[in-house]
Structure 1
Amino acid sequence: MHNSSLYNRLLRLDTYFFNFLRISIFIVMAWIGGLKAFQYEADGIVPFVANSPLMSFFYKNAGNKVMNEDQRKVLEYTLYKNPEGKVVEKNIDWHKENGTYWFSYGLGTMIIIIGSLVLLGIWFPKIGAIGGILTFLMSLVTLSFLITTPEVYVPNLGGDYPTPQYGFPYLSGAGRLVLKDIIMMAAGLVLFSDSVKKTVKPFTDRI
């Protein structure tokens, strides 16, 4: 009898775990979405957006190719990168003209909205189901960067010795960050399923 009672209590914990997952997703999305309003974060997503066939049209200069110092043809954005913690005026001017910041504001707003829908799933399962499926779709787009963005893999920059590991499957810092979205994708599906069950249950109980 005691074991049965403990088992039932453990079963009921799943509600708290699902809600903790919703809160966790909201924190991540609200934080990251909010940072999209700042210059360094907006600059940082340019390689992902500029190389994505799903998103590059948001940028004015996404497909422009120019000659670099080594007389190699490269995408224009690669010449106007601002390292995190450093602000170069000519780079900022280029990003303003490119539409970098307006796009980032819109993307950040969308991410915060999705996170809020997921959080509201604690009280409103139908809204939570929408948030869950949108989380899945957003993560799917993010994971596509592993195919479209060269910067997600370690480059062959040479040096005193040949670069031993570069290209696929050697993920760069950006690539390792993108890969983690597979967890967010799975979480979105799990929460979608949980929200749908809560939505359907009142109707099945009447039958």
Structure 2
Amino acid sequence: MNNLMIETSGRKSIAQRLLETMASMNRVSVTILRCGLVLVLVWIGGLKFAKYEAESIVPLVANSPAMNFLYQDRAPAYRQYMNKEGEVVPSHQEWHEGNRTYPVSQALGLAIVVLGFMIALHKPLPQVAAFGSALLIGMSCVTLSFLVTTPEAWVHFMGDGAQGFPFLSGVGRLILKDSIMFGAAFVTMADSARMYLGRRNVNAL
């Protein structure tokens, strides 16, 4: 095994060649990361225009001190009007319409899609992409704060020993994944800012 990790007789080991190949993939890695961010933002943002998705984020928004003003009713009023995904209950949808559930979700969705398109402008307008990534960092911070403010993010006592911290519910697990988006946005922000400044320096010569 040690022979794989060192150079022998002036020849590179298999491990070293693999590591050099990995190191050379920095550029393509950032590009794949950026494409992933754009895909997630545009797709998820677009889904915010669907009623089932709009209804699913109600617990997050209603319990957030930073966002609950967007709704007509305060938590926990929403709990008796929650639907399963794809389920249609006219009386519940009527409540959501009065609660401004759908227009709020559409506005959030539009903002998320715009962020996706901003980040996609990395090559033609890297300065726009850099600010798009910076805004995504802020959005991710708000999303991660839902772990603190949303009761549904944690497993409730139902007889099992798993409850509360650190036992995340399905909602909590989805929120936690935004920590990946948080880190990815830092990478794309720095990369876009570096490209913009590099072009500016070249043009100044």
Tell me, yes or no, whether TM beats 0.5. Answer: yes
Per the TM alignment, residue 15 of structure 1 is displaced from its structure 2 partner at its CA by: 2.4
Residue 117 of structure 1 contacts residue 131 of structure 1 at CA under 8 Å; is this kept in 2?
Answer: yes
Q: Which amino acid aligns with 1:42?
A: A
Per the TM alignment, residue 84 of structure 1 is displaced from its structure 2 partner at its CA by: 0.9
Alignment-derived partner of residue 110 in structure 1: 111
Alignment-derived partner of residue 67 in structure 1: none
Q: Which amino acid aligns with 2:197?
A: V
Per the TM alignment, residue 126 of structure 1 is displaced from its structure 2 partner at its CA by: 0.5
Aligned residues: 191
1:74-113 equivalences under 5 Å are 75-113=76-114
Specify which of 154, 163, 167 is matched with residue 166 of structure 1: 163
| 4+ residue runs over 3 A deviation | 6-13, 202-207
Alignment-derived partner of residue 120 in structure 2: 119
Alignment-derived partner of residue 69 in structure 1: none
Per the TM alignment, residue 149 of structure 1 is displaced from its structure 2 partner at its CA by: 0.2
Q: What is the distance in 2 between the residues matched to 1:164 and 1:203? A: 59
Per the TM alignment, residue 11 of structure 1 is displaced from its structure 2 partner at its CA by: 5.7
Q: Aligned to 1:144, what secondary structure does the other structure show?
A: helix
RMSD: 2.4
1:179 aligns with 2:176: yes
Q: Which amino acid aligns with 2:121?
A: L
Alignment-derived partner of residue 67 in structure 2: 55
Unaligned runs of 5+ in 1: 64-74
Residue 29 of structure 1 contacts residue 115 of structure 1 at CA under 8 Å; is this kept in 2?
Answer: yes
Unaligned runs of 5+ in 2: 1-10, 13-17
Deviation by residue 1:14-64 (Cα, 9 ceiling, x = unmatched): 22221221111111011111110011000000000000011000000024x
TM-score by length of 2: 0.85
| Percent identity (aligned) | 41
TM-score by length of 1: 0.85
Q: What is the distance in 1 between the residues matched to 2:154 and 2:120? A: 34
